[in-house]
Every structure is written in structure tokens, then in C-alpha cells.
Structure 1
Amino acid sequence: MTPPDLSVYRLVFRLGDALIRSGASSATTTKALLAVCTRAGLKHPSVSVTLGQLMVSDQPDDGSPPRTRFHEIEPGALDIRWRTRAEEITEHYLLGDVGLEEALEEIEDQVNQKPSHQWWKLVVGYGVLGTGFGLILGGQPLTAIGGALTSMVISFIFRILGHLGAPGIFGYAAGGFVAVLAATALNTAFSLDQVAVCIVAAIAARLAGIASYGAVQDAITGWYISATGRMMEVATSTAGLVAGVAAGIGAVRLLWGPSVQLIETVEADTTHWTASILGAMFVAAGFTLASGGWAVRLLALTGLGGATELVYLFLLEVGTTPFLSITVSTAITGAACVLISRPINLSSNAIMMVSLMPLFPGMLIYQGLLGSLFGLEDSGATLLEALITAFCLSVGGVLGQYLFSEGLWLARRRQFHHTHPGESFSKVMPEEYNSRDIMLPVFSKPFNGSEARPAGRTPKGRPTADA
């Protein structure tokens, strides 16, 4: 393999790593990487996203065998700056504003820079997030503060174990164990009786996982292996947290006695709108900050999180069922995510992860699994409610994205046919003229090499790769 081809593969792997680790769907990632391969001149490129692995291949000559390289991708948290920069470099390269070596140098410089997940941003962000969930669950001000402190302690635990190289499931288990001890100690110190609220407020965000929405979108578009891998990531982290919480409950009962109410039904408070909306804004702001978002993005995502909660509460007030309220409110939010993705320069999937976080049924998952471990009644019904809620939440958001993005794709098709009469347009075709749509979600599976490239010139007057 020649040095230029190696550079292409390095660029593709860096960009794919940034997109997949921060929750981009397999369809969107495949389309972007196919476009990069085609722009670089690789012939018959193929891109495949599987369980934690990215595979890229090409065939230099018709008579030669294909060349294939693999890249392992570790699970990661949403990094807004890293993902935004990767999308910018992709778009600039596809438009011809930068060359291959310059694009590779920019992406390598970004990798070597200090990550957005600085410890103080993570700690403060998850502290704000814990406060928000405490308010959503109807906790007292001191309970919300306790949720914030507990969440910050968990962040330190994750950081320490991460540096030690411990497997993720053990980090989540340690976080759940420490959450129970910290919440119990704080409630004892302040003479509160909301230990369960404090625990759920601290770990609810950890139960969500950035892989959930990407998994649903992958399943809808037919990427079943990738969807299974993302769901396994969610299941593993949730199982680790619940196991740690269960161990923590056993330790507390030995140290404090059985009188502490560690297991009780915790529900979101939908009667006090001010506290709920403020809590949702805190959750969105905390997750944005923990993900490296700042300035305009922080303000936009905080407002969108509060607006989503407001629409949800309004639908409940007019008599809509909770499941339908979640579906409709998240569908509206999904459409809004596509609308504002370009102005704030962040993909709609990343926006949706943040804005829908306040509605994610982390407390129901926690209660259902924990109740099953301790043999509590109705735990199965609670877990089923959590699964239905998560389904409505994810599908509603994806539905809003789909409807709005399809409208935008239709407008782009008409614009393209007006500008390039006689040429064909496909939103999954890896062409330079589609690079301006790199942030739009894709709901059609971009089959490798099946699209016919039309002859002609790009909108900027440059020949296509095959010309």
C-alpha cells in the first residue's frame, strides 16, 4: 500500500472513530466515510461498521484483490468539540477547501490536543446534572444538592478507575456502590428522608447512555449488528450500576440498619412545572458541559431541554397518555434538532442525546432491575414501563428527525435538479455536492458501491473523482 493510500486510511479511521464514539448512526458514518474515500480517489471503496470495529476496503485495479484494513473503536462519551471538529474537517475536505495531508494534519492535531472531557468539566457538569434530576424527581433543595454531590463523587470514581484501566462494567459497579454510601451519608448528615431520590438523581444519567438513540436509528435503517452492539453497551453499563447499587444497599443495611428507605418508588414530579422545567434545563446544561459544550451550544441545548419538558408537561395537562406525550414531545424535539444543527454546527443526533436526557427513564430502569433483585412486587411492571418509555422516547425523536430531514432532502433534490439539470441525485451517494448535508441524518442504507456516479462537474466547477 502506497503512502498516499495509507494517509487516506488514517484519515478515514480518525474521522470514523470520532463519529462512532460520540453516537453517530452507522448510516450517517458510512455515508461520510464513503464520501471521503471517493474524494481521495480510492476505487470501489467499502465501509462497514460492526461491533466496536470499523472496516474499510478498496480495490485498486479490477484484476487485483481488495485491500482491507480494520480499526478497533472503544466505547466513548459524547465529546461535542471533537465531533464538531471531525465533521468540519470532513466537510472541508469534501468541498476541496483542504487537501488530504492538510486534513490529516488537522485531525491529528485535534487528537493530540487536550480533550474536552477535562476533569473539572466532567465533575461540574455531572454535578449540575444531578441537581436537575433531583428537581425533576420532586426532591427537596437539599436532596437535589445531595444528588449533585453524589454524582460528582461518582465522576471521580470513574476517572480514577479509568486511569487504572479497569473494565467499564467494574467502573459502573463501583460508581453504583459509592452512590448508595454517599447518598445515605448525606441524608443522615442533613436529617433527610429521601435517600432513594438522591441515589436515582446521581445515577440516572449514567443509565441513559449515548448509544441508545444511535442503536434505534441503526435498527430502523437495517444496521442490526451495530444496533446490537450499542444496546449491549447500554445493557452492560446498566447491569454494572445496578449490581453496584445492590452491593451498596447490603453494606448500608449492615452499617446503618434496615430502617433506611433505600428502595422505594420514585417518580417524576409533573405537578410543579417550574421545578420540572428548571430541572430539565439543569440536566441538559450539565450534560452539555460534561460533553465539552460551551457558549452558544450550552445556551441552545439548555433551552431545548427545557422546551422539551414544557411540551411534555403541556401534553400531560391536556389529558394525553404519558407514552403518547413522550412520543409527540420527542418527535417535535427531533425535528428541532435537525433545524438547529447547522446554526450551532452540531449534528442532530448529538443535540438529541442532550435535549432528551431529562425524559430518559433512568429511574424506572433502576427501580425495575433493583426490585427484581430484591423480590419487590410490581418490579416487572416497572421494568416493562421503562422499556416502553425508552422505546417511545427513542422512536419519537428519530421520527421527528426523519420527517423533518426528509423535507430538507426533498428541498435539496429540487435545488440540485435546478442547478444540475439532467443529473441524478441521491442522498446516500458519496458525492462532493452532498457534503453540505453532512449533518443531516440519513435513514436510507448507503450500500457500498451500488450508486452510479453521474458524469459531470461539481457545483464548484471541479471534476468528479471519476472524471
Structure 2
Amino acid sequence: MDESRRLAQTLDLCLRIGEVLLSSGAGAADVTATMRVVAQALDVRNPQVDVTFTSLSMTAQHADELPVFQMRQVMQRDIDYEDLTRVDHLVRDIVAGRADMQTARARVARIASSGHARPRWAASAGWGLMCAGTGLQLGGSVAVVVVAFVAAVSIDRLQLAMSKRRLPFFYQQIAGGGVATILAAVATKLTESFVHMDASLVVSANIIMLLAGIGFMGAIQDALSGFYLTGGARVLEALLATGGIIAGVSGGFSLAATLGFDLPVLVPARTDLVGVSVAAGGAAVGAAAFAYASYAPMRSLIPIGLLSGFALAISETIALQDFGRPWSVGVAAFVVGLVSYAVASRLRVPPFVIVVPAVVPMLPGLSIYRGLALLTATGHPAVAEGLLSMVTAASTATALAAGVILGEYVAQPVKREARRVETRLAGPRLVGVTRFRRHR
């Protein structure tokens, strides 16, 4: 009876750890491997783990006793790098033998039930600062930066209110896209007599903010590492959320046109070396602010900003050589994945906390805005160019995720012991330990 009870408690601990990781955006491969490592560190032999998009299940048995089966549902998803980091530290303590099962159960319960040291209004300000940095990155004026900040804070508070009323994320994205477009159009009309403001840059910055909340990284990681069912569900969720942004922005275009507020079609400017340095500075601010808004540890903000600025400088420099946008951001994302493993190890955070904020400024907000603006125009050439811009946006998002994961493949070799323990892992680890040595 004692053995069965201990086994049940161990499985419950593994499932609670997996639930926090999965709800925080970790890939199914990382969640599966982490749960198996924790179980084996607590002397559970050959546990069977199954992770899908909305549930986790685990079964194991001792000797000739009846198997124990447990299951948990993932009820909500949120970007929460603080909980992700705390659970990662707990897993490392369990594997190293610094935390027994009872201590670990108490710690994971505190992680799941406690709030954040950072107040929610500070996170809203972080989203505003992220869009302000993105507006600077895109070459906007002071007016663009200010309006982008106000629009981002407004969108965040609106989405928070909708989330409390349990409205689906799709409708939250529609509302965010509509608010961004209408605020940009109104601000442009009100300030046209005394200052020039490019509304397209404001909308593009807010599109990047809305895209940042979509789990592209986890979706592509699941698909590449063999978890096709979970990966397919995550890709569908990402496409639906992106469709919400497109619907909101296009609705905003139509409403603005009805009210007599014309939004321009964005023509990407040719960037010189001075522009690259300014864009890199804006990207650094935007990435660090996104990490702050996602409750990343304070010690990680400056390295994230520096890495993001460096990556954007690489991307823009390659783009100056007339390479396609997907290739330029793919190479920059590869560098992020290559460097982030070492950076995360020194900062004692999961690589996931580093790579996602670092690539956020390279999300295809400009391409989506330009595509929508052209699709609402008249004439077959404009429509064809708009469709091409939307395809470029999809290719860019895929290149970002694939480039980061390829960089992790190169930077994080899988050791013999990790291969033996994590038999279902078919890719690099963005969360969790990469080596397991039984503590004696």
C-alpha cells in the first residue's frame, strides 16, 4: 500500500510539473522528456507518458502490482516565464537529489498557486514599451512611438477584460487588431495639421505585439520532433489566432475608410547601415520589454535585448544583400538558437525564455499589414502583390521557428545518457535538463 501511494504521488508530481510547462508554452517533446526524467529520478521504472494539446496522462507500476494511471487537463494557457523558470529549477533540484518528493510536491503547489511579484499594471506597461521599441525599430517618429505605446496598453487591458469573461482568444485577437487600426487612423487624422505620423507603422508594431502571444515556437517544435497530433493542434491554434488579427485589422481598414480616415499602403524603406543600428536598438528595447511583460527574470532582460538587437542587425544586413526576407530572418534566428543555449545556462533560465523574446522583433508585422492594405485596394496587380506579401509573412514566421530549433540542434548535442533516458525526444531541449545521472 505504501509503494502504491508513493507511486501515485510521484505520478501526480510529474503531471503537475508537466501541466505548468505545457500551459506556459513548452513543446510536447520537452514536457514528455521532463516528466520521464523526474519519474526516473524518483525511482519509477519505465513510466509511460502521453502529452496532447489539452491533456497529460501517465502510467507506471511496481513489480506485480496493478498499474497506476493518472491524467490532468490543461485548462488555460498563458505566457509565463517566471513559472517556467521556477519549475525548471525544481526539476534540476530533483534530478540532482537536492529535493525529495515531498519537498518537490510542496514547491510545485506553491508555484501553481502563488501570483507574481511583478504587478499586472507593470506587465501592461511592458507591452506598451515593447510596441514603442518596435515602432522605433520600424523607423517611426516620436509620434509613432507614443501612439504605439498607448495602443498597446489599450489592447492589453481590453484583452485582459475579455479574458476574464472567458471570451475565446480568437475574438481577443480580432478586438486587438481593430483597436490598433482605429487608434492609428484617428491619431493620424487628429495630428495631421502639426505633425506627420505614419499610421502604418503603428499598426505594424501592434500586429507584432499580437503575434508575440501566439505559440509559433512550440507548434513548430512539436511538428519537427514527431508530435504531429499536438503540433497540428498548435498550428491550427496559431493559424486561428493569426486569422483573428487579420480579421481585426481588415475590419479596422474598412471602418477607417467609412469614417474618411485613409490608411496608407506601407512601402518598406531601403535601410542603410545607420538605419540598421537604430532598428537594432529598437529591437533590443522591444525584446527586453516583451520578456518583462511575460514575467521573465530581471537578470535575463539585458542579455535578451542585446541578443535580439544583434540578431536584427544580422537580419537587416543580410537583407541589404537582396536575400529574401525568410532567409535573412532564418539565418538570424539560427544565430539566436546557437547562442541562447550558452546564455541560458549562465543565467540559469530555460533556453525557451531567451529564444522567444529574442526573435519577437523579427515577426512579420510589416508583411501582414502591407498584404492587408493591398488586398483591400482595387486592381488585380495590388491583390496579387498582397497575396504574395501574406505568403511571405507565413514563410517568415516558419523560418524564425525553424532557424531557432536548428541552432539548438547544433548548440546542444544529446549525450548518451540523455538519449537513453529520453527515448521519445527527437530534438533539442528548450526546457528541462539535457543530462540525467541517477543520484546515489
Question: Which range, TM-score by smaller chain?
Answer: 0.7 to 0.9
The answer on 1:403 being equivalent to 2:398 is no
Paired residues for 1:8-407 under 5 Å: 8-62=10-64, 64=66, 66-115=67-116, 118-191=119-192, 192-254=196-258, 256-257=259-260, 260-262=261-263, 264-265=265-266, 267=268, 270-271=271-272, 272-317=275-320, 320-368=323-371, 371-372=374-375, 376-377=382-383, 378-406=385-413
Question: Residues 5, 218 of structure 1: CA spacing in aligned structure 2 closer, same or farther, 3 A cutoff?
Answer: same
Shift of 1:43: 4.1
**Corresponding residue for residue 427 of structure 1:** 419
Give the letter for the 2:114 counterpart: Q
Task: Find runs of 4+ consecutive structure 1 residues off by over 6 angstroms.
Answer: none
Give the letter for the 1:238 counterpart: T
Q: TM-score, normalised by structure 1?
A: 0.83
Shift of 1:198: 1.1
d(CA) in 2 for partners of 1:172, 1:201: 14
d(CA) in 1 for partners of 2:267, 2:293: 25
Question: Residues 77, 119 of structure 1: CA spacing in aligned structure 2 closer, same or farther, 3 A cutoff?
Answer: same
Q: Is the 8 A contact 2:20 2:112 kept in 1?
A: no
The alignment covers a number of residue pairs equal to 424
What secondary structure sits across from 1:427 in the alignment?
helix
- Pairwise CA RMSD: 2.7
Q: Is the 8 A contact 2:88 2:432 kept in 1?
A: no
Deviations 1:291-311 (A, max 9, x none): 112432111111111111122
d(CA) in 1 for partners of 2:52, 2:388: 33
Give the letter for the 1:20 counterpart: L
Shift of 1:440: 6.6
Deviates more, 1:152-161 or 1:367-376: 367-376
Q: TM-score, normalised by structure 2?
A: 0.88
d(CA) in 1 for partners of 2:321, 2:247: 39
d(CA) in 2 for partners of 1:47, 1:164: 33
**Corresponding residue for residue 417 of structure 1:** none
Give the letter for the 2:88 counterpart: E
Give the letter for the 2:18 counterpart: G
Give the letter for the 1:102 counterpart: T
d(CA) in 2 for partners of 1:371, 1:47: 48
Q: Is the 8 A contact 2:92 2:433 kept in 1?
A: no
Question: Residues 430, 324 of structure 1: CA spacing in aligned structure 2 closer, same or farther, 3 A cutoff?
Answer: closer
Question: Residues 67, 382 of structure 1: CA spacing in aligned structure 2 closer, same or farther, 3 A cutoff?
Answer: same
Give unmatched runs, 5+ long, in structure 2: 424-428
d(CA) in 2 for partners of 1:322, 1:247: 27
Deviations 1:111-151 (A, max 9, x none): 22223673222211111111122122222221121111101
Q: Is the 8 A contact 2:200 2:369 kept in 1?
A: no
Question: Residues 288, 123 of structure 1: CA spacing in aligned structure 2 closer, same or farther, 3 A cutoff?
Answer: same
Question: Residues 153, 4 of structure 1: CA spacing in aligned structure 2 closer, same or farther, 3 A cutoff?
Answer: same
Deviations 1:193-243 (A, max 9, x none): 422221121221212445211222211111111111221221121122222
d(CA) in 2 for partners of 1:252, 1:369: 14
Deviates more, 1:164-173 or 1:78-87: 164-173
Give the letter for the 1:384 counterpart: V
Q: Is the 8 A contact 1:146 1:187 kept in 2?
A: no
d(CA) in 2 for partners of 1:95, 1:123: 37
d(CA) in 1 for partners of 2:116, 2:71: 25
Deviations 1:330-373 (A, max 9, x none): 21111101111111111112211010111111332344356546
Q: Is the 8 A contact 1:348 1:440 kept in 2?
A: no
Q: Is the 8 A contact 1:87 1:438 kept in 2?
A: no
Paired residues for 1:441-452 under 5 Å: none
Q: Is the 8 A contact 2:250 2:372 kept in 1?
A: no
d(CA) in 2 for partners of 1:80, 1:400: 21
Q: Is the 8 A contact 1:305 1:356 kept in 2?
A: yes
Question: Residues 319, 95 of structure 1: CA spacing in aligned structure 2 closer, same or farther, 3 A cutoff?
Answer: same
Q: Is the 8 A contact 2:82 2:297 kept in 1?
A: no
**Corresponding residue for residue 426 of structure 2:** none
Question: Residues 233, 373 of structure 1: CA spacing in aligned structure 2 closer, same or farther, 3 A cutoff?
Answer: farther
